[in-house]
Chains A and B, each alone.
Chain A
Amino acid sequence: MKIRKYCKIDREFVVIDGALYPFPKEEGTHFLTALYRALSVDYPKFHKMDTLSKLGFLASELIFREEDENILMFDNMAIICFNRSSSLEYDTKFQDSIEAQNYYPSPSVFVYTLPNIVTGEIAIRNKLYGETSFYITPHFDAVQMVRTVENAFQDRDTQSVLAAWIEAYEETQEVLMMWVEQGKDGGMPFLAENINTLYNKSF
Protein backbone atom coordinates (compact mmCIF):
# COMPACT_ATOMS: atom_id res chain seq x y z
CA MET A 1 0.00 0.00 0.00
CA LYS A 2 1.13 3.52 -0.72
CA ILE A 3 0.06 7.08 0.07
CA ARG A 4 -0.85 8.74 -3.21
CA LYS A 5 -1.50 12.10 -1.61
CA TYR A 6 -2.01 13.44 1.89
CA CYS A 7 -3.25 16.50 3.70
CA LYS A 8 -2.74 17.66 7.25
CA ILE A 9 -4.66 20.46 8.92
CA ASP A 10 -4.23 21.71 12.46
CA ARG A 11 -4.65 25.06 14.17
CA GLU A 12 -1.21 26.15 13.03
CA PHE A 13 -0.72 24.90 9.50
CA VAL A 14 -2.24 23.35 6.44
CA VAL A 15 0.06 20.96 4.60
CA ILE A 16 -0.62 19.24 1.32
CA ASP A 17 1.87 16.58 0.17
CA GLY A 18 4.66 18.05 2.27
CA ALA A 19 4.17 21.64 1.17
CA LEU A 20 2.63 24.36 3.29
CA TYR A 21 -0.66 25.67 1.96
CA PRO A 22 -0.76 29.35 2.84
CA PHE A 23 -4.11 31.06 3.27
CA PRO A 24 -5.11 34.43 4.73
CA LYS A 25 -6.26 34.19 8.32
CA GLU A 26 -8.98 36.62 9.27
CA GLU A 27 -9.34 38.30 12.62
CA GLY A 28 -12.44 37.01 14.39
CA THR A 29 -13.02 34.22 11.89
CA HIS A 30 -12.44 30.58 12.73
CA PHE A 31 -9.41 29.22 10.89
CA LEU A 32 -11.52 26.51 9.25
CA THR A 33 -13.95 29.11 7.89
CA ALA A 34 -10.99 31.15 6.64
CA LEU A 35 -9.60 28.07 4.91
CA TYR A 36 -13.01 27.31 3.39
CA ARG A 37 -13.13 30.84 1.97
CA ALA A 38 -9.57 30.59 0.66
CA LEU A 39 -10.51 27.44 -1.27
CA SER A 40 -13.38 29.32 -3.00
CA VAL A 41 -15.71 26.34 -2.94
CA ASP A 42 -19.41 27.01 -3.05
CA TYR A 43 -20.85 24.60 -0.51
CA PRO A 44 -23.05 26.49 2.01
CA LYS A 45 -23.72 23.26 3.93
CA PHE A 46 -20.14 23.60 5.20
CA HIS A 47 -21.31 26.15 7.75
CA LYS A 48 -23.80 23.70 9.23
CA MET A 49 -21.20 21.00 9.88
CA ASP A 50 -19.58 20.03 13.18
CA THR A 51 -15.81 20.50 13.45
CA LEU A 52 -15.08 16.84 12.59
CA SER A 53 -16.98 17.21 9.33
CA LYS A 54 -15.41 20.58 8.55
CA LEU A 55 -11.92 19.13 9.03
CA GLY A 56 -12.72 16.07 6.92
CA PHE A 57 -14.44 18.11 4.24
CA LEU A 58 -11.58 20.60 3.86
CA ALA A 59 -8.87 17.91 3.85
CA SER A 60 -10.71 15.96 1.15
CA GLU A 61 -11.24 19.15 -0.89
CA LEU A 62 -7.50 19.88 -0.74
CA ILE A 63 -6.68 16.31 -1.79
CA PHE A 64 -9.18 16.08 -4.65
CA ARG A 65 -9.29 19.65 -5.97
CA GLU A 66 -6.74 19.17 -8.73
CA GLU A 67 -7.84 15.67 -9.68
CA ASP A 68 -9.63 14.96 -12.92
CA GLU A 69 -13.24 14.18 -12.12
CA ASN A 70 -13.77 12.42 -15.40
CA ILE A 71 -11.65 9.38 -14.74
CA LEU A 72 -14.22 8.00 -12.28
CA MET A 73 -11.59 6.84 -9.86
CA PHE A 74 -13.86 7.52 -6.94
CA ASP A 75 -16.45 4.86 -7.51
CA ASN A 76 -14.49 2.23 -5.60
CA MET A 77 -13.09 4.37 -2.85
CA ALA A 78 -13.70 3.63 0.83
CA ILE A 79 -13.61 6.29 3.56
CA ILE A 80 -12.21 5.09 6.87
CA CYS A 81 -11.73 7.48 9.77
CA PHE A 82 -10.32 7.20 13.28
CA ASN A 83 -10.27 9.35 16.39
CA ARG A 84 -10.07 9.38 20.16
CA SER A 85 -13.04 11.48 21.24
CA SER A 86 -15.81 10.24 18.96
CA SER A 87 -18.38 13.07 18.55
CA LEU A 88 -17.93 14.41 22.10
CA GLU A 89 -17.74 18.02 20.87
CA TYR A 90 -21.32 17.87 19.61
CA ASP A 91 -22.43 15.41 22.31
CA THR A 92 -21.61 18.14 24.83
CA LYS A 93 -23.36 20.76 22.73
CA PHE A 94 -26.49 18.61 22.48
CA GLN A 95 -26.38 17.83 26.21
CA ASP A 96 -26.39 21.60 26.84
CA SER A 97 -29.56 21.91 24.72
CA ILE A 98 -31.44 19.45 26.95
CA GLU A 99 -30.65 20.95 30.34
CA ALA A 100 -33.79 21.12 32.46
CA GLN A 101 -34.12 24.93 32.54
CA ASN A 102 -33.62 25.32 28.81
CA TYR A 103 -34.89 22.14 27.19
CA TYR A 104 -34.90 22.64 23.42
CA PRO A 105 -33.18 19.61 21.87
CA SER A 106 -31.66 20.68 18.58
CA PRO A 107 -32.04 18.28 15.63
CA SER A 108 -29.23 19.93 13.67
CA VAL A 109 -26.89 19.34 16.62
CA PHE A 110 -28.17 15.82 17.32
CA VAL A 111 -27.43 14.67 13.77
CA TYR A 112 -23.73 15.34 14.38
CA THR A 113 -23.63 13.37 17.65
CA LEU A 114 -22.30 10.39 15.68
CA PRO A 115 -18.64 10.40 14.62
CA ASN A 116 -19.27 8.71 11.27
CA ILE A 117 -21.28 11.65 9.90
CA VAL A 118 -18.03 13.10 8.53
CA THR A 119 -17.63 9.99 6.35
CA GLY A 120 -21.12 10.66 5.00
CA GLU A 121 -20.35 14.33 4.33
CA ILE A 122 -17.26 13.40 2.28
CA ALA A 123 -19.21 10.68 0.45
CA ILE A 124 -22.01 13.13 -0.43
CA ARG A 125 -19.65 15.84 -1.62
CA ASN A 126 -17.64 13.50 -3.86
CA LYS A 127 -20.35 10.96 -4.76
CA LEU A 128 -18.47 8.06 -3.18
CA TYR A 129 -20.61 4.94 -2.78
CA GLY A 130 -17.95 2.70 -1.22
CA GLU A 131 -17.49 1.56 2.36
CA THR A 132 -17.62 4.22 5.08
CA SER A 133 -16.42 3.30 8.57
CA PHE A 134 -15.41 5.03 11.78
CA TYR A 135 -13.15 3.54 14.46
CA ILE A 136 -12.27 4.85 17.91
CA THR A 137 -8.80 4.38 19.38
CA PRO A 138 -7.52 5.63 22.78
CA HIS A 139 -4.82 7.69 21.05
CA PHE A 140 -3.34 8.26 17.57
CA ASP A 141 -2.50 4.71 16.55
CA ALA A 142 -0.76 4.34 13.19
CA VAL A 143 -0.42 0.58 13.63
CA GLN A 144 -4.16 0.06 13.92
CA MET A 145 -4.79 2.46 11.05
CA VAL A 146 -2.54 0.44 8.75
CA ARG A 147 -4.11 -2.84 9.87
CA THR A 148 -7.66 -1.58 9.40
CA VAL A 149 -7.01 -0.05 5.99
CA GLU A 150 -5.20 -3.19 4.85
CA ASN A 151 -8.21 -5.23 5.99
CA ALA A 152 -10.56 -2.91 4.11
CA PHE A 153 -8.97 -4.02 0.82
CA GLN A 154 -10.51 -7.44 1.45
CA ASP A 155 -13.66 -5.84 0.05
CA ARG A 156 -13.12 -6.92 -3.56
CA ASP A 157 -14.54 -3.68 -4.98
CA THR A 158 -12.37 -1.36 -2.91
CA GLN A 159 -9.58 0.10 -5.08
CA SER A 160 -8.46 2.91 -2.79
CA VAL A 161 -9.09 4.20 0.72
CA LEU A 162 -9.37 7.72 2.01
CA ALA A 163 -7.98 7.13 5.50
CA ALA A 164 -7.99 9.83 8.15
CA TRP A 165 -7.28 10.59 11.73
CA ILE A 166 -9.76 13.34 12.65
CA GLU A 167 -9.97 14.73 16.15
CA ALA A 168 -12.11 17.68 17.29
CA TYR A 169 -12.58 18.06 21.01
CA GLU A 170 -11.60 20.63 23.58
CA GLU A 171 -8.26 22.14 22.51
CA THR A 172 -7.54 19.72 19.67
CA GLN A 173 -8.66 20.25 16.09
CA GLU A 174 -6.64 18.25 13.63
CA VAL A 175 -6.84 15.96 10.64
CA LEU A 176 -4.30 13.83 8.81
CA MET A 177 -5.95 12.44 5.69
CA MET A 178 -4.26 10.01 3.33
CA TRP A 179 -5.36 8.74 -0.05
CA VAL A 180 -4.16 5.14 0.06
CA GLU A 181 -3.84 2.76 -2.85
CA GLN A 182 -2.54 -0.73 -3.27
CA GLY A 183 0.83 -1.28 -4.91
CA LYS A 184 4.20 0.31 -4.32
CA ASP A 185 5.00 2.73 -7.14
CA GLY A 186 4.20 6.41 -7.09
CA GLY A 187 3.88 7.16 -3.40
CA MET A 188 5.25 6.83 0.09
CA PRO A 189 4.73 3.34 1.58
CA PHE A 190 1.65 3.28 3.84
CA LEU A 191 3.53 2.11 6.92
CA ALA A 192 3.07 3.02 10.58
CA GLU A 193 6.49 4.68 10.78
CA ASN A 194 5.74 6.93 7.79
CA ILE A 195 2.31 7.84 9.13
CA ASN A 196 3.82 8.72 12.50
CA THR A 197 6.39 10.92 10.76
CA LEU A 198 3.68 12.75 8.80
CA TYR A 199 1.61 13.19 11.95
CA ASN A 200 4.45 14.46 14.14
CA LYS A 201 6.32 16.56 11.59
CA SER A 202 6.18 20.26 12.37
CA PHE A 203 6.59 23.06 9.84
Chain B
Amino acid sequence: MITCVGHNIISSLGFSSSENYAAVKSGSSGLVLYNSCFDSVEPFVASMIDKVVLKEKFTAICNDSNHYSTLEKAAILSVLDANKTAQIELSNARVLFVLSSTKGNVEALENDHQQTKKYLWHSAQRITQFFQNPNTPVIVSNACISGASAQIAALRELETDHYDKAVVIGADMLSKFVIAGFQSFKALSSECCNPFDVDRTGLNLGESAATIIYSKKIPELRTLPNTHFSLLNGVVRNDANHISGPSRTGEGCVRALTYILKNIDTQDIAFINAHGTATSYNDAMETVSLNRTGLNQLPTNSLKGYFGHTLGAAGVLETIISSLALADHTILASAGFSKGDDREHLNIVSTNQYTDKKMFIKMLSGFGGCNATLLVRNGLEE
Protein backbone atom coordinates (compact mmCIF):
# COMPACT_ATOMS: atom_id res chain seq x y z
CA MET B 1 0.00 0.00 0.00
CA ILE B 2 1.22 3.49 -0.85
CA THR B 3 -0.32 6.82 0.13
CA CYS B 4 -0.95 9.89 -1.99
CA VAL B 5 0.57 13.00 -0.42
CA GLY B 6 -0.15 15.44 -3.24
CA HIS B 7 -1.92 15.58 -6.58
CA ASN B 8 -2.80 17.84 -9.47
CA ILE B 9 -4.87 17.82 -12.64
CA ILE B 10 -4.41 20.14 -15.60
CA SER B 11 -7.20 19.78 -18.13
CA SER B 12 -9.84 21.75 -20.01
CA LEU B 13 -11.62 22.16 -16.66
CA GLY B 14 -8.78 23.89 -14.80
CA PHE B 15 -5.25 23.86 -13.53
CA SER B 16 -5.70 22.24 -10.11
CA SER B 17 -7.38 19.08 -8.81
CA SER B 18 -9.87 21.08 -6.75
CA GLU B 19 -10.91 23.25 -9.72
CA ASN B 20 -11.38 20.14 -11.84
CA TYR B 21 -13.33 18.32 -9.15
CA ALA B 22 -15.60 21.28 -8.45
CA ALA B 23 -16.40 21.56 -12.16
CA VAL B 24 -17.22 17.87 -12.46
CA LYS B 25 -19.34 17.87 -9.31
CA SER B 26 -21.39 20.77 -10.64
CA GLY B 27 -21.92 18.87 -13.89
CA SER B 28 -19.66 20.99 -16.15
CA SER B 29 -18.01 19.28 -19.07
CA GLY B 30 -14.83 20.32 -20.87
CA LEU B 31 -16.02 18.81 -24.15
CA VAL B 32 -16.31 21.24 -27.06
CA LEU B 33 -17.19 20.76 -30.75
CA TYR B 34 -14.27 21.59 -33.07
CA ASN B 35 -15.19 22.14 -36.71
CA SER B 36 -11.74 22.57 -38.15
CA CYS B 37 -8.85 21.73 -35.92
CA PHE B 38 -5.69 19.67 -36.59
CA ASP B 39 -6.60 19.75 -40.31
CA SER B 40 -9.50 17.42 -39.62
CA VAL B 41 -12.01 17.22 -42.44
CA GLU B 42 -14.72 16.02 -40.10
CA PRO B 43 -15.86 17.95 -37.01
CA PHE B 44 -15.06 16.28 -33.70
CA VAL B 45 -15.72 16.83 -30.01
CA ALA B 46 -12.72 17.05 -27.69
CA SER B 47 -11.56 18.49 -24.38
CA MET B 48 -8.48 20.68 -24.67
CA ILE B 49 -6.22 22.56 -22.28
CA ASP B 50 -6.21 26.36 -22.64
CA LYS B 51 -2.73 26.76 -24.21
CA VAL B 52 -2.60 30.54 -23.64
CA VAL B 53 -3.06 30.13 -19.90
CA LEU B 54 -0.67 27.18 -19.88
CA LYS B 55 2.03 29.24 -21.55
CA GLU B 56 1.46 32.18 -19.19
CA LYS B 57 1.72 29.95 -16.17
CA PHE B 58 4.84 28.29 -17.49
CA THR B 59 6.57 31.53 -18.41
CA ALA B 60 6.00 32.67 -14.83
CA ILE B 61 8.09 29.79 -13.49
CA CYS B 62 10.63 29.31 -16.26
CA ASN B 63 12.32 31.90 -18.45
CA ASP B 64 13.32 29.31 -21.03
CA SER B 65 9.77 28.51 -22.11
CA ASN B 66 10.50 27.69 -25.77
CA HIS B 67 12.81 24.92 -24.68
CA TYR B 68 9.86 22.76 -23.58
CA SER B 69 7.03 21.13 -25.51
CA THR B 70 3.40 21.68 -24.51
CA LEU B 71 3.34 18.24 -22.92
CA GLU B 72 6.49 18.91 -20.91
CA LYS B 73 5.21 22.33 -19.78
CA ALA B 74 1.93 20.84 -18.60
CA ALA B 75 3.69 17.97 -16.84
CA ILE B 76 6.13 20.28 -15.03
CA LEU B 77 3.35 22.65 -13.92
CA SER B 78 1.34 19.66 -12.75
CA VAL B 79 4.20 18.31 -10.61
CA LEU B 80 4.87 21.77 -9.13
CA ASP B 81 1.24 22.15 -8.08
CA ALA B 82 1.02 18.61 -6.69
CA ASN B 83 4.10 19.28 -4.61
CA LYS B 84 2.50 22.33 -3.00
CA THR B 85 0.76 19.93 -0.60
CA ALA B 86 3.27 17.10 -0.73
CA GLN B 87 6.24 19.36 0.03
CA ILE B 88 8.83 16.73 -0.85
CA GLU B 89 12.36 17.35 -2.01
CA LEU B 90 12.01 16.45 -5.70
CA SER B 91 15.78 16.45 -6.30
CA ASN B 92 16.30 13.75 -3.67
CA ALA B 93 17.76 10.45 -4.90
CA ARG B 94 15.06 8.56 -2.96
CA VAL B 95 12.40 10.12 -5.22
CA LEU B 96 11.48 8.32 -8.45
CA PHE B 97 9.67 9.91 -11.40
CA VAL B 98 7.29 7.68 -13.36
CA LEU B 99 5.90 8.98 -16.65
CA SER B 100 2.87 7.58 -18.42
CA SER B 101 2.20 8.69 -21.98
CA THR B 102 0.95 7.02 -25.12
CA LYS B 103 2.09 9.49 -27.77
CA GLY B 104 4.45 11.93 -26.02
CA ASN B 105 5.65 14.63 -28.44
CA VAL B 106 4.45 12.80 -31.55
CA GLU B 107 3.73 16.13 -33.28
CA ALA B 108 7.52 16.50 -33.57
CA LEU B 109 7.26 14.10 -36.54
CA GLU B 110 5.31 16.72 -38.50
CA ASN B 111 8.42 18.74 -39.22
CA ASP B 112 11.61 16.87 -38.87
CA HIS B 113 12.04 13.19 -38.16
CA GLN B 114 15.55 13.74 -36.83
CA GLN B 115 14.55 15.65 -33.71
CA THR B 116 15.48 14.07 -30.39
CA LYS B 117 12.30 15.42 -28.82
CA LYS B 118 10.27 12.70 -30.55
CA TYR B 119 11.62 10.19 -28.02
CA LEU B 120 9.50 9.57 -24.95
CA TRP B 121 12.58 9.19 -22.76
CA HIS B 122 13.70 12.62 -23.86
CA SER B 123 10.49 14.19 -22.53
CA ALA B 124 10.87 12.28 -19.28
CA GLN B 125 14.46 13.48 -18.92
CA ARG B 126 13.42 17.09 -19.56
CA ILE B 127 10.95 16.81 -16.71
CA THR B 128 13.31 15.16 -14.21
CA GLN B 129 16.13 17.56 -15.15
CA PHE B 130 13.83 20.50 -14.47
CA PHE B 131 13.46 19.20 -10.92
CA GLN B 132 17.13 18.16 -10.76
CA ASN B 133 16.17 14.60 -9.93
CA PRO B 134 19.19 12.31 -10.40
CA ASN B 135 17.33 9.05 -11.18
CA THR B 136 16.49 7.52 -14.54
CA PRO B 137 12.73 8.01 -14.81
CA VAL B 138 10.50 4.98 -15.35
CA ILE B 139 8.47 5.39 -18.55
CA VAL B 140 5.41 3.28 -19.17
CA SER B 141 3.75 3.12 -22.58
CA ASN B 142 0.99 0.60 -22.28
CA ALA B 143 -1.70 2.17 -24.46
CA CYS B 144 -4.76 3.47 -22.63
CA ILE B 145 -3.99 1.67 -19.37
CA SER B 146 -0.61 3.47 -19.03
CA GLY B 147 -1.84 5.71 -16.19
CA ALA B 148 -2.72 2.64 -14.13
CA SER B 149 0.46 0.79 -15.14
CA ALA B 150 2.50 3.78 -13.93
CA GLN B 151 0.80 3.70 -10.53
CA ILE B 152 1.39 -0.05 -10.30
CA ALA B 153 5.08 0.53 -11.16
CA ALA B 154 5.25 3.12 -8.36
CA LEU B 155 3.53 0.75 -5.92
CA ARG B 156 6.09 -1.96 -6.65
CA GLU B 157 9.12 0.36 -6.48
CA LEU B 158 8.02 1.79 -3.13
CA GLU B 159 6.92 -1.50 -1.58
CA THR B 160 10.32 -3.02 -2.36
CA ASP B 161 12.01 -0.03 -0.70
CA HIS B 162 13.89 1.02 -3.81
CA TYR B 163 12.54 4.54 -3.27
CA ASP B 164 10.65 6.47 -0.60
CA LYS B 165 8.50 8.62 -2.88
CA ALA B 166 7.24 8.35 -6.43
CA VAL B 167 6.00 11.17 -8.64
CA VAL B 168 3.56 9.60 -11.10
CA ILE B 169 2.76 11.78 -14.10
CA GLY B 170 0.23 10.95 -16.79
CA ALA B 171 0.29 13.26 -19.81
CA ASP B 172 -1.02 13.25 -23.36
CA MET B 173 -1.85 16.09 -25.74
CA LEU B 174 -3.95 16.03 -28.90
CA SER B 175 -2.40 16.31 -32.35
CA LYS B 176 -3.27 15.79 -35.98
CA PHE B 177 -1.73 12.34 -35.54
CA VAL B 178 -4.01 11.20 -32.71
CA ILE B 179 -7.19 12.70 -34.17
CA ALA B 180 -6.54 11.19 -37.62
CA GLY B 181 -5.75 7.83 -36.05
CA PHE B 182 -8.94 7.54 -34.06
CA GLN B 183 -10.91 8.86 -37.05
CA SER B 184 -9.42 6.09 -39.20
CA PHE B 185 -10.84 3.69 -36.64
CA LYS B 186 -14.25 5.36 -37.03
CA ALA B 187 -14.16 5.60 -33.24
CA LEU B 188 -14.62 9.36 -32.76
CA SER B 189 -18.05 10.79 -32.13
CA SER B 190 -19.09 14.18 -33.47
CA GLU B 191 -21.30 14.55 -30.38
CA CYS B 192 -20.52 14.60 -26.67
CA CYS B 193 -19.89 10.99 -25.71
CA ASN B 194 -22.46 8.86 -23.85
CA PRO B 195 -20.64 6.11 -21.95
CA PHE B 196 -22.76 3.00 -21.30
CA ASP B 197 -25.78 4.59 -22.96
CA VAL B 198 -27.64 2.31 -25.33
CA ASP B 199 -27.35 5.00 -28.02
CA ARG B 200 -23.62 5.73 -27.56
CA THR B 201 -21.87 6.84 -30.74
CA GLY B 202 -18.17 6.66 -29.98
CA LEU B 203 -15.48 8.40 -28.01
CA ASN B 204 -14.15 11.92 -27.56
CA LEU B 205 -10.47 12.59 -26.97
CA GLY B 206 -9.07 14.87 -24.29
CA GLU B 207 -5.84 16.49 -23.14
CA SER B 208 -4.46 16.36 -19.65
CA ALA B 209 -1.40 16.28 -17.47
CA ALA B 210 -2.08 14.83 -14.04
CA THR B 211 0.23 13.99 -11.15
CA ILE B 212 0.03 11.89 -8.03
CA ILE B 213 2.88 11.96 -5.54
CA TYR B 214 2.95 8.69 -3.61
CA SER B 215 4.78 7.99 -0.38
CA LYS B 216 5.64 4.66 1.19
CA LYS B 217 5.67 5.85 4.75
CA ILE B 218 2.36 7.15 5.99
CA PRO B 219 2.96 10.75 6.98
CA GLU B 220 1.84 12.21 10.29
CA LEU B 221 -1.94 12.17 10.36
CA ARG B 222 -2.33 15.86 11.10
CA THR B 223 -0.25 16.91 8.12
CA LEU B 224 -2.59 15.23 5.69
CA PRO B 225 -5.71 16.89 4.33
CA ASN B 226 -8.79 14.66 4.48
CA THR B 227 -8.69 14.12 0.72
CA HIS B 228 -5.72 11.81 0.82
CA PHE B 229 -5.99 8.26 -0.39
CA SER B 230 -4.06 5.03 -0.58
CA LEU B 231 -3.44 2.71 -3.50
CA LEU B 232 -4.03 -0.73 -2.02
CA ASN B 233 -3.51 -2.87 -5.06
CA GLY B 234 -3.31 -2.84 -8.82
CA VAL B 235 -2.94 -5.39 -11.56
CA VAL B 236 -2.71 -5.83 -15.34
CA ARG B 237 -4.15 -8.75 -17.33
CA ASN B 238 -4.38 -9.46 -21.05
CA ASP B 239 -7.38 -10.63 -23.09
CA ALA B 240 -5.19 -12.66 -25.48
CA ASN B 241 -7.92 -11.99 -28.01
CA HIS B 242 -7.31 -9.13 -30.44
CA ILE B 243 -4.88 -6.20 -30.72
CA SER B 244 -7.57 -3.54 -31.10
CA GLY B 245 -10.94 -5.14 -30.42
CA PRO B 246 -11.95 -5.65 -26.77
CA SER B 247 -12.69 -9.25 -25.85
CA ARG B 248 -16.36 -10.24 -26.05
CA THR B 249 -15.97 -12.32 -22.91
CA GLY B 250 -13.94 -9.67 -21.06
CA GLU B 251 -11.42 -12.34 -20.07
CA GLY B 252 -8.54 -10.01 -19.14
CA CYS B 253 -10.82 -7.53 -17.42
CA VAL B 254 -12.53 -10.30 -15.40
CA ARG B 255 -9.14 -11.64 -14.30
CA ALA B 256 -7.97 -8.15 -13.32
CA LEU B 257 -11.13 -7.55 -11.27
CA THR B 258 -10.97 -10.97 -9.62
CA TYR B 259 -7.36 -10.38 -8.62
CA ILE B 260 -7.88 -7.13 -6.73
CA LEU B 261 -11.09 -8.32 -5.09
CA LYS B 262 -9.45 -11.25 -3.33
CA ASN B 263 -10.16 -10.93 0.41
CA ILE B 264 -12.23 -7.79 -0.21
CA ASP B 265 -15.91 -7.59 0.72
CA THR B 266 -17.63 -5.94 -2.23
CA GLN B 267 -20.09 -4.40 0.25
CA ASP B 268 -17.24 -2.05 1.17
CA ILE B 269 -16.83 -0.75 -2.38
CA ALA B 270 -18.48 2.66 -2.86
CA PHE B 271 -18.38 2.62 -6.65
CA ILE B 272 -16.62 1.47 -9.77
CA ASN B 273 -15.04 4.07 -11.99
CA ALA B 274 -15.05 2.25 -15.32
CA HIS B 275 -13.03 3.03 -18.41
CA GLY B 276 -16.31 3.80 -20.21
CA THR B 277 -14.98 5.25 -23.45
CA ALA B 278 -18.45 5.21 -25.08
CA THR B 279 -17.32 3.06 -27.99
CA SER B 280 -19.75 0.25 -28.60
CA TYR B 281 -17.20 -2.50 -27.97
CA ASN B 282 -15.41 -1.15 -24.89
CA ASP B 283 -18.56 -0.49 -22.89
CA ALA B 284 -20.04 -3.84 -23.89
CA MET B 285 -16.86 -5.59 -22.75
CA GLU B 286 -16.89 -3.83 -19.37
CA THR B 287 -20.59 -4.63 -18.97
CA VAL B 288 -19.91 -8.33 -19.56
CA SER B 289 -16.97 -8.24 -17.14
CA LEU B 290 -18.93 -6.56 -14.34
CA ASN B 291 -21.75 -9.06 -14.82
CA ARG B 292 -19.38 -12.01 -14.85
CA THR B 293 -17.74 -10.89 -11.60
CA GLY B 294 -21.05 -10.15 -9.89
CA LEU B 295 -20.22 -6.44 -9.57
CA ASN B 296 -23.03 -5.22 -11.81
CA GLN B 297 -25.13 -3.97 -8.87
CA LEU B 298 -22.40 -1.62 -7.63
CA PRO B 299 -22.78 2.05 -8.62
CA THR B 300 -20.67 2.56 -11.75
CA ASN B 301 -19.63 5.70 -13.61
CA SER B 302 -17.37 6.92 -16.39
CA LEU B 303 -15.67 10.33 -16.38
CA LYS B 304 -15.19 10.48 -20.15
CA GLY B 305 -18.26 12.73 -20.51
CA TYR B 306 -16.35 15.45 -18.59
CA PHE B 307 -12.79 15.09 -19.88
CA GLY B 308 -13.00 12.86 -22.94
CA HIS B 309 -10.50 10.03 -23.17
CA THR B 310 -7.21 11.54 -22.01
CA LEU B 311 -5.20 8.46 -23.11
CA GLY B 312 -2.03 8.06 -21.00
CA ALA B 313 -3.29 10.61 -18.47
CA ALA B 314 -6.68 8.93 -17.96
CA GLY B 315 -5.59 6.47 -15.27
CA VAL B 316 -4.02 9.22 -13.17
CA LEU B 317 -6.67 11.90 -13.72
CA GLU B 318 -9.62 9.57 -13.08
CA THR B 319 -8.02 8.12 -9.95
CA ILE B 320 -7.66 11.64 -8.52
CA ILE B 321 -11.21 12.76 -9.40
CA SER B 322 -12.69 9.52 -8.03
CA SER B 323 -10.73 9.77 -4.79
CA LEU B 324 -11.79 13.41 -4.31
CA ALA B 325 -15.39 12.30 -4.83
CA LEU B 326 -14.97 9.52 -2.28
CA ALA B 327 -13.52 11.96 0.27
CA ASP B 328 -16.54 14.18 -0.44
CA HIS B 329 -18.90 11.20 0.18
CA THR B 330 -20.06 11.51 -3.40
CA ILE B 331 -20.54 9.10 -6.27
CA LEU B 332 -20.31 11.27 -9.37
CA ALA B 333 -22.91 11.11 -12.10
CA SER B 334 -21.78 9.42 -15.29
CA ALA B 335 -22.11 12.36 -17.72
CA GLY B 336 -23.98 11.64 -20.93
CA PHE B 337 -25.82 8.57 -19.64
CA SER B 338 -29.59 8.39 -19.90
CA LYS B 339 -30.65 4.87 -20.82
CA GLY B 340 -28.80 1.59 -20.51
CA ASP B 341 -29.02 -1.56 -22.54
CA ASP B 342 -31.87 -3.67 -21.15
CA ARG B 343 -30.15 -6.92 -22.03
CA GLU B 344 -27.25 -6.45 -19.65
CA HIS B 345 -27.87 -4.83 -16.33
CA LEU B 346 -25.48 -2.30 -14.84
CA ASN B 347 -25.99 0.27 -12.11
CA ILE B 348 -24.83 3.39 -13.99
CA VAL B 349 -25.07 6.51 -11.81
CA SER B 350 -27.08 9.24 -13.52
CA THR B 351 -27.07 11.87 -10.73
CA ASN B 352 -24.58 12.54 -7.94
CA GLN B 353 -25.23 10.23 -4.98
CA TYR B 354 -24.16 10.07 -1.34
CA THR B 355 -21.83 7.34 -0.07
CA ASP B 356 -20.16 6.65 3.26
CA LYS B 357 -18.03 3.80 1.96
CA LYS B 358 -14.26 4.03 1.74
CA MET B 359 -13.09 2.22 -1.38
CA PHE B 360 -13.45 2.38 -5.13
CA ILE B 361 -12.23 0.37 -8.11
CA LYS B 362 -10.68 2.01 -11.15
CA MET B 363 -10.89 0.08 -14.44
CA LEU B 364 -8.99 0.72 -17.68
CA SER B 365 -8.59 -1.20 -20.93
CA GLY B 366 -6.50 -0.56 -23.99
CA PHE B 367 -5.19 -1.64 -27.37
CA GLY B 368 -2.91 -4.63 -27.23
CA GLY B 369 -5.62 -6.40 -25.20
CA CYS B 370 -4.48 -4.99 -21.87
CA ASN B 371 -6.76 -4.40 -18.90
CA ALA B 372 -5.92 -2.81 -15.55
CA THR B 373 -7.68 -2.45 -12.23
CA LEU B 374 -6.74 -0.39 -9.19
CA LEU B 375 -8.16 -0.63 -5.68
CA VAL B 376 -8.12 2.74 -3.90
CA ARG B 377 -9.10 3.60 -0.34
CA ASN B 378 -9.85 6.98 1.06
CA GLY B 379 -7.95 8.16 4.14
CA LEU B 380 -5.45 6.20 6.12
CA GLU B 381 -5.42 2.65 7.35
CA GLU B 382 -7.71 2.12 10.29
Contacts and interface: CB of A to CB of B under 8 A. Distances in A.
Contacts of A124: 240-243, 369
B141 A131 contact: no
B68 interface: no
Interface stretch (B178-186, B198-206, B350-358): B178-186
B88 to A, nearest CB: 22
Contacts of A134: 140-142
A157 B368 CA distance: 20
B156 A154 contact: yes
Contacts of A100: 39
Nearest to A138: B121
Contacts, number: 156
Interface string A130-143: 11111111100100
A117 interface: yes
A116 B181 contact: no
B139 A94 contact: no
A136 B123 CA distance: 11
A85 interface: yes
Contacts of B241: 124
Contact of B181 (A86, A92, A110, A132): A110
Contacts of B259: 155, 157
A160 interface: no
Contact of B243 (A85, A121, A152, A157): A121
A105 B113 CA distance: 18
A86 B104 contact: yes
B106 interface: yes
Interface in B132-155: 136, 138-143, 149, 153
Interface in B236-258: 236-244, 251-252, 255
Nearest to A126: B240
Interface residues of B, number: 56
B322 interface: no
A84 interface: yes
Contacts of A98: 39, 176-177, 180
B184 A128 contact: no
B177 A106 contact: no
Contact of A129 (B125, B156, B177, B239): B239
A118 B252 CA distance: 16
A113 interface: yes
B238 A131 contact: yes
29 contacts: A79-B238, A86-B119, A86-B141, A88-B119, A91-B177, A94-B177, A94-B180, A105-B181, A105-B184, A110-B180, A110-B181, A110-B185, A111-B244, A114-B102, A114-B141, A116-B367, A120-B369, A124-B242, A129-B238, A131-B235, A131-B238, A132-B236, A132-B238, A136-B141, A144-B138, A151-B157, A154-B159, A155-B259, A157-B259
Name the 8 nearest CB pairs between A and B, nearest first. A120-B368, A151-B156, A105-B184, A110-B181, A136-B139, A105-B180, A138-B121, A123-B238
Interface of A: 79, 84-86, 88, 91-92, 94-95, 98, 100, 103, 105-107, 110-111, 113-121, 123-124, 126-138, 141, 144, 147-148, 150-152, 154-155, 157
Given A91-B118, A126-B240, 17 more contacts: A84-B121, A86-B141, A88-B119, A91-B177, A100-B39, A103-B41, A110-B181, A116-B142, A120-B243, A123-B240, A132-B238, A136-B119, A141-B136, A144-B138, A151-B160, A152-B156, A154-B156
